[in-house]
Structure 1
Amino acid sequence: MAKEPLIHLFDWSPHVYVDPFHTHDHLEIGYCLSGSGTFYFGDKTFPVQQGDVFVVNHLERHAAASNADNPSRYLFLYFDPTLIEQADQELLLPFVYLPTKFQNRIPSGLKAARKIGELFLELADEHENKQPGYRGMMRGKILQICVQLLRHYVEETPSADWNRTLTSYYRIKPALDYINERFREPLSLEDVAERLALSPSRARHLFQEKLGTGFKQYLLQLRVNEAKKLLASSDLPIADVMYAAGFQSPGPFYRAFKQIVGAAPLDYREQAAKLALFEKISGENKTTREALPR
């Protein structure tokens, strides 16, 4: 039986200080239920208020902080891209953005934020009550949320710029698919360039231009994300995790993991185990996530 795509919905309140910047191996949408604070995406800073929606892809480093006098509280949704890709590839477009130019925040006063907020509350209700067929209902709600995102960004983006986004996405997608399938193996820029029928220099430029990151950093991100999953979900020795994630030697593995996650692999595994125990005791539906580097 095929494994179901990841769907994870949870309640989260940031600290009043800024946690380490982090990335995820999945797509992420946040809805501010109450309070205020600040969200950081690379060099961008967004104020947060009740009703705001935030969009995060798997590449952009981000962090959040609460207002000490009015702490923010969110519903966050993590999901695997295959969930929406199977329905309509176009729904992925809001998540394929150049970080420096993308507006991650949809302010609460906009129609899209209000509609997405309503869908988030319906999603949370399905998740909490778990009536028969709730998984199908949750998938349907997530697709509706992604449709609202797509329509919002189409409306907010000049048509010429949106057409360039479409062209860029379909130009680089074969390379991303190839890397996602092969990142656990030795892989070079030349391999990817050959797949795209481009020169290595042109392929390098395409990554930087379309994703805002280089090929090497993109590959490292995928491998570190895989290592995080294995550290949190298995008892494999760290050396085996390293090889299973596509790294060939300890030095590059430890440096990349520390750079991207902000913690050493063993520390991350210990923190993940503590969080899993806390969730088991508290009940996942009511969990507030905090300090695990992500």
Structure 2
Amino acid sequence: MSKQSGEQQIQEIKLYESKHKEKDLVQTHHHTTHQILYVLEGTGKCTLNQTDYALESDNVVLIAPYTKHSILSSSKLTVLVLEFNESFLSDEVRTELLPFVFKDSSVMKMSLFDSSELRQLLRKMLYEQSHGDNLRMLAMKIFLAELLFVMKRSYQSNQIADTNKLRVEWLRNYINTHYYEITASEDLSKKMGMSTRYVHSIFKEHYGKTPMQYLTEVRLELVKDMLLETDNDIASICFEVGFESVSTFYRVFKKYVGIPPNQYRTSHHEPGYGED
């Protein structure tokens, strides 16, 4: 990895390839410039201010000025290095994008869509750097601003995804512990302060089923255990886990399990069940 001292500080934008063999080590160092590393292929480890991050294809490494960092390749590793001096950027980019993107030096995994946009911008920058005319640096400046915008948008999208993950994990836990009192999907959406459609959408995105489908599965697993582990009447079990009617319970149980609950109890009872 290129090392720029204060005296060698670049005055514009540079984009170059950095190749590493297996087990190559780039010793700890820092730059006075900003760097964005895009992993083209290979795996390895990047240490940023004594924090280790795994590296793999399509990862983006953000290195703010004066961040102490090192890289250890665990296979052949090819990286594109985009290095620039912030004084080269417009005031809007320096104030609106740069502080947000480089708030912390870190490793990002972008979405497929944003990663595709990033690759296209890097290709454009490589072309301008090699074949551009007297407008080359203006083009590089514009593409860099667009790239920083894509990264800020990707970060915000990841934040939303992380927030939704926390939401559905909370909802899943709520269903696990309040299965007996939930009567409709509206109960869950009101609890979360969101529309029923949105709650269904984010839950299904993470778990492959709607909250009410998951609720039914939780209830039926409990019912199966109670059918085998207790001699409670089926109507009592149905009531205890939250089904509103015995007829609905029988229909749902047979749909999911394949046989009626009384037949399930009989066919799964071990000999001597209930005996001392």
Structure-1-length-normalised TM-score: 0.46
- Highest RCO, 1 vs 2 (Cα 8 Å, sep ≥ 6): 1
Mark the structure with the bigger radius of gyration: 2
